[in-house]
Structure 1
Amino acid sequence: MPIDLGGSGVTGIHVNVYHGVRRLMGLSEKPIRVADYSQMLAEVEKEVLERLNIDVVRIDRVLEPCHPDVNRMGWRIWRNPQGIHIEFPEHLEIVEEAGYYKAYLRGLYSGRMPKDGYYFWWGIHAGIKPPLADAKTIEDIKDFNWDQYKFTDEEIENLRKKAEWLYRNTEYAIVLPGVTKIGGLHDAGGQSLRGWDRWLSDLRIRKPLAEAVLDYIMELYRYNIKRILNALGEYVNVAIVAYDDLGTEEGPQISVQTFREFYKHRYEEIISYVKKYSKAFTRIHSCGSIHPFIKEFVDIGLDAIDPVQISARGMDPVVLKRDFGEQIVFWGGGVDTQHILPFAKEE
């Protein structure tokens, strides 16, 4: 059974917990480098990867093992509310304002953390207006700057060098953590661009507008997948194709009918496109109660799904194994990470 720790932004470890793991291992005290600013996830170091027999790594890591000449950047140290010293890239500045720690990414306000918090609320969750919140017409959707979500030649070459180096110099399975800069169709797509509740109403009462948004997102998928995987597809073992939380703790966000109307055929095209330009396995991240959608994903050839939130309604791992165990890989689900792992006692 492959083991993953830090192989993506949805299979990571919080900096505070990672600090404790390093201490238990007897490793020397030093600042923890952050791999995910919002969730405050640690970049897992080589010695920890080896001690825990980890099997997968993400392409864009910046600590060993990684390409020695890619992503050279400066770092700044910050002491988080729990007293752990962590490292951020120098282009991210954290300042105290109005009772929060606020994050400015390249000078732009991007997120905030309560004074006693553990992670940053990012983007729309930090009070930032969704970029397409005011769109009223399809023309408004068309006029939006979609090009900002295209990978540049420099970014792709950077990823190619990293992927090739990992492929030739390590035995890890290599994860491409994203095939486009918009992370999906639903949660990371329409809801991030339009707003959580606004997008749900779009799917019911403004369907032409929703279709237009999804069509432009799909254009980005086609553009980015073709260019990225033409450059480095031979080195990629797993490609995460969407970060779309389709469920809540109590049930799905949308009906299966809505899924089929707006998403299923688009996910199928994305998966087919990845397989056209690489031999990578495809994976989707989707939190919550998503049992009704798993068969839909099986139908369109998805290889794996994470995180398998077994504390959500209908996500009993015994039932999931019975219903789908021979048809799809569950990338997670071995423990209740919402309640047992963080709060339960050893006994």
Structure 2
Amino acid sequence: MTPRERVLRALNHEVPDRIPLDLGTTNCTTLTRKAYENLKVYLGIQKETHLMMENFQIVFVDEEVLNILDIDTRGIHPTPRPKQRVVDERTYYNEFGIKYHMPEGGLYYDMVEHPLAGKTLEELKDYEWPDPRNSMDLTGVREKAIALSQEGKYFLVGDMIDTGIFEPCWYLRGFENFLVDLMCNVDFATALLERMYEYQLQRYTLFLKECGEFLDAIFVGDDLATAESTIMSPKTYRDIVKPYHKEYFKNLKKMAPRAKLLYHSCGSIAPFLPDLIEIGVDILNPVQVSAQGMDTKTLKERFGKDLCFWGAIDTTFVLPRGTEEDVRQEVRRRIDDLGPEGYVLCAVHDIQPDVPPQNIVAMYDEARRYGVFL
């Protein structure tokens, strides 16, 4: 099978020749800068690193690395424009006016100011939203999509980067503030969700105009859970957030008619899976196996007929702290639980700086060795 055929079979709930592999197709399935640079040294590759997201310090993965690890997927992305106003070498404001700062010796930028904190509904109406066209550089996106589509070898995933509706609302408002809004200030919450939905749909419309016809999957990342529980009750989700997700997903599928919807939420997301399936989610990422209620065997039994799984190799304990044999055992367990159909293997979220490169290589090597079916 070609890599694209392999992934398509798995996502169509058919048994592929082997477990498909992903790395780097989305901003939630790549590596942090330090982890990537360590991996390149380990593999003997000398090439400049290019960042996908400044705040999280995550990278675009080079073709040489993808070929060495035998990755079946390829990502289609714009070039982000994260820094709208630089304060100093460790501090900047993005297009929304959110202030980011990296502590000395830190590995990431943290949000330290939320521009809508303390604002009223009337003040929200006066907030000046950024121009979607200025959030990303689409140069070369169509050309890359056409070239990869004509080659026909790889499964193509489109991720315009920063794709959520719920998460960006609390980025603007502050996490605690927005959760209070959902309970006590619903008019503000819905007004902000409405505007964020419109903004993100405008961005994805621009992106998918360039490449939507060529994509096999579209990515949306919008965390709804922590490691212990969902962030809000199912009723709050259904009453307030879900209607916006429903319209968003429906419109994305119209603009990329052959693409499956790859949805990312970290944490204990299982209580929301029936709702997400109902509104068009085809694939769940990252399958955070260390979170409450995210046992992979149970997830497959409950949702495997309607949902595919993408991720599931533990990044909390096994990849950073385990031996190579621990990693191989983890890979075998997840393939047994989630395969042979309906599963694409990669790490739970982005590979962090403390993950040894030999464990990354062992993960993909074991998947190619153990996950063979035909």
TM-score interval, normalised by the smaller of the two chains: 0.7 to 0.9
Q: 1:330 aligns with which of 299, 309, 334?
A: 309
Q: 1:59 aligns with which of 76, 84, 97?
A: 76
> Matched residues in 1 for 2:294 and 2:154: separation?
30
CA 1:12–1:151 in structure 2 vs 1: closer, same or farther (change >3 Å)? Answer: same
User: What does 1:123-142 align with in structure 2 at a 5 Å threshold?
Assistant: 124=111, 127=112, 129-137=113-121, 139-142=122-125
Aligned equivalent of 2:132? 150
> Matched residues in 1 for 2:276 and 2:157: separation?
20
Q: 1:2 aligns with which of 5, 13, 20?
A: 20
Identity across the alignment (%): 31
* Greater Cα shift, 249-258 or 221-230: 221-230
Cα deviations across residues 299-324 of structure 1 (Å, max 9, x unaligned)?
A: 11211121111101111111111111
1:48 aligns to what SS in structure 2?
helix
Aligned equivalent of 2:102? 113
CA 1:271–1:61 in structure 2 vs 1: closer, same or farther (change >3 Å)? Answer: closer
Q: Quick one: which amino acid aligns to residue 184 of structure 1? A: G
Q: 1:172 aligns with which of 136, 154, 174?
A: 154
Aligned equivalent of 2:164? 184
Cα deviations across residues 230-277 of structure 1 (Å, max 9, x unaligned)?
A: 342112221113x22211111111100011011222211111111112
Instruction: Give the unaligned 5+ runs of structure 1.
Output: 63-70, 74-87, 96-101
Question: 1:103 offset after TM fit, Å?
Answer: 4.2
After superposition, the CA RMSD in angstroms is 3.0
Instruction: Give the unaligned 5+ runs of structure 2.
Output: 1-18, 326-374
> Matched residues in 2 for 1:19 and 1:141: separation?
42
> Matched residues in 2 for 1:153 and 1:44: separation?
21
- Structure number with the bigger relative contact order (C-alpha 8 A, sep ≥ 6) is 2
| TM superposition score normalised by structure 2 | 0.73
Question: 1:170 offset after TM fit, Å?
Answer: 6.2
2:311 aligns to what SS in structure 1?
coil
| TM superposition score normalised by structure 1 | 0.78
Q: Quick one: which amino acid aligns to residue 298 of structure 1? A: I
> Matched residues in 2 for 1:302 and 1:258: separation?
19
More helix by share: 2
Contact 2:74 2:157 (8 Å CA) reproduced: yes
Aligned equivalent of 1:275? 253
Contact 2:22 2:29 (8 Å CA) reproduced: yes
Contact 2:98 2:115 (8 Å CA) reproduced: no
Question: 1:93 offset after TM fit, Å?
Answer: 9.2
Aligned equivalent of 2:372? none
CA 1:280–1:344 in structure 2 vs 1: closer, same or farther (change >3 Å)? Answer: same
Q: Quick one: which amino acid aligns to residue 274 of structure 1? A: L
CA 1:164–1:191 in structure 2 vs 1: closer, same or farther (change >3 Å)? Answer: same
